[in-house]
Amino acid sequence: LASRVRYRHDNSETTVDNIDLEVEILSKRTDDEAPKLRSTIYSIPVRINPVNDAPNLKPGINPEALLISGESK
């Protein structure tokens, strides 16, 4: 499962997030031995280590000014 679940951060300033993973049990059994639980949602906490990235410098309207943006491309 670890190689099949991927997380991509949205470049916001948050340091915590969650991945909600729904697990569904598929079974054709209908007797009492079949699990009563058919699906459940697990919330996997994600801790994000902040990195102090350099700001992106973009030309502004005024040729002598630069617009500093904290968003990545």
Cα angle 40-43-44, degrees, rounded to a multiple of 5: 130
**Is pLDDT at 60 greater than 70 in this prediction?**
no
- Per-residue pLDDT tens digits for 15-58: 999 999 888 877 766 666 555 667 889 998 999 988 887 766 66
pTM of the model: 0.48
**What percent of the residues of the chain are helix, what percent strand, and what percent coil, each to the nearest 5?**
0, 35, 65
Cα distance from N-terminal residue to C-terminal residue, the chain: 30
pLDDT of residue 66: 60
Q: Does residue 28 lie in a domain region?
A: yes
Q: Does residue 2 lie in a domain region?
A: no
**Residue 19 in contact with residue 47, Cβ under 8 Å?**
no
Range of the domain at 60: 16-69
DSSP string, 10-38: -S-S-SEEEEEEEEE------STTS-S--
Q: Does residue 30 lie in a domain region?
A: yes
